Amino acid sequence: MASFPMIINGQKVMTRETIGVINPATGEHFAQVPVGTPQHVDDAVVAARAAFPAWSALSHDERKAKLHQLAAALEANMPELMKLLTQETGKPMNGYSGVGSGMEVGGSIAWMQATAETELPVEVIQDDEVARVEVHHKPIGVVGSISPWNWPLMIALWHYAPALLAGNTVVAKPSEFTPVTTLRFAEIANEILPPGVLNVVVGDGQVGAAIASHPDINKIVFTGSISTGKSVMQAASGNLKRLTLELGGNDAGIVLPDVDPKEVAPKLFGVCFHNNGQTCQALKRLYVHEDIYDEVCSEMAAIANNIKNGNGLEEDTDLGPLQNEQQLNIVIELAADARAAGATFLTGGEAASGPGYFFPPTIVTDISDGTRLVDEEQFGPIVPVIKYSDIDDAIRRANNSSTGLGGSIWSNDLDQAAELAGRLEAGSVWVNTHADIQPNAPMGGMKQSGIGCEFGHWGLAENTVIQTIKISKA
């Protein structure tokens, strides 16, 4: 069984105790990684602080060049990283609508390249006979990263790339469910970066808590659940760490009656079952006008019935398993609650027998708000389709949530759709698409879906502190 070390101060670190990493398609271990401790976090922070002066002293162009080297290294190792991702997440190598390990590694490369080209120039807000006033963006120091299991490589690099470009050093914890690809990337990256600039420690919640509360870490970027985000926020208060939190969502999509059901159904299916539903901004509540409700549901069910659920290493697999048993059990529980409430299951609804954490794509109708499947984030391959008759009521129901990560409007009337999009209480809203993020457009959440944002110069700025310099000429 392959072993993947932690990286601290440029050195490979193993421990006597190990964590077995499960392939969710088989339920069996395929790799092992070390069990990090708070002491390993301390060691990583010491290394990161020692590396910070020299790294932050490099010019922007020098750090930019390093990021481009990292992107090239990702590309050179793409086949290996894709296979590791599929083994630890279960997602197909290619997958339905091209959403799989290839997309994740390819997206990681693209994001690294785009981030490298992002700048925060000095802003001159006054320059006259009295004074010159400049606003500078300075690196924060050591950035702590805690990343999730659903997109383990890409989200980790969303954290690392802007932090490094801004001149910070990083101490990171990947999910213990999916640490392998991130550790392999760190090993590759440390052939390019100076020792101590990027450190990765694996472990359970103790390691995450040690990072969140560490007095010598200056910022935390966290992607994960709302409950854990609140714990991170509380732990980070000890030294008033800066925070970027991208938390859970229960994204709503509203389909207007002017669309063609046959045309829109494949698009809706793709964004509902994006990464098997295991994406923060997947479409999780679908509101469809009563005039086209039955036809949209029927068309989506027909797609679901032709999906191949299987091992992601097989070329023709559309959707793989859920990543872990705990998440599978949540989906099973939500399906059972919906069934007890009288909902209709057009497809799926039961976990597959045999090894692995498989649950078929499931379309649920005759369901409404107040049911757990509608009100809670399912984070899996099960989607409630809710009938509505009045658009104002649909907007109200879509906004009736403690979260506000993403949302979408589907219509042929783009002017009306844009107006309705502005009424949704979500950090990102799309028209005729969903979860269509890009590296130059900011992404963040409203309400309990997070604090701050990522991507573009907005996300880069979150990895800096502002310094104002006033030069008096009087």
Side-by-side strand order, sheet with 123-127: 123-127, 131-139, 464-472
Calculate helix-pair angle for 101-116, 60-76, nearest 10 degrees.
Answer: 160
Joined tokens for residue 318: 């559309």
Mapped onto helix, strand or coil, the DSSP state of residue 192 is: coil
290: annotated active-site residue: no
Strands 123-127, 131-139: pairing is antiparallel
Pairing type for strands 252-255 and 242-246 reads unpaired
End-to-end CA distance of the chain: 71
Task: Please tell me the distance from the alpha carbon of residue 467 to that of residue 241, in angstroms, as a whole number.
Answer: 17
Single out the catalytic residue among 246, 299, 454, 462. 246
Q: How far is the C-alpha of 90 from the C-alpha of 171, rounded, in Å? A: 27
Q: Token pair of 358, please? A: 């498989």
Among the options 280, 299, 377, 453, which is catalytic? 280
State the Cα–Cα distance between residues 235 and 41, nearest whole angstrom: 15
Residue 7 CB neighbour total at 10 angstroms: 28
**C-alpha dist (Å) from residue 222 to 144, 187, 295:** 8, 22, 40
| Alpha-carbon torsion (265, 266, 270, 271), positive or negative | negative
Backbone Cα Rg of the chain: 23
Residue environment code for 343-378, b if the CB has 16+ CB neighbours within 10 A, otherwise e: bebbbbbebeeeebbbbbbbbbbbbeeebbbbebbb
Task: Please count the CA atoms within 13 angstroms of the CA of 76 that sit on its side-chain side.
Answer: 9
For residue 246, indicate whether it is catalytic.
Answer: yes
Q: Taking Cα atoms as reference points, which of 24, 4, 121 lies closest to residue 325?
A: 24
Asked if 281 and 405 count as a contact pair (C-beta separation under 8 A), the reply is: yes
Dihedral over alpha carbons 141, 142, 148, 154 (to 10 degrees): 60
Give how far the C-alpha of residue 38 lies from the chain's centroid of Cα atoms, to the nearest Å: 25
The candidate with the shortest Cα–Cα distance to 445, out of 145, 225, 220, 268, is 225
Pairing of strands 406-410, 450-451: unpaired
CB 247 within 8 A of CB 229: yes
Q: Which residues lie closer than 8 Å to 340 by C-beta, 6 or more apart?
A: none
The catalytic site residues sit at 246, 280
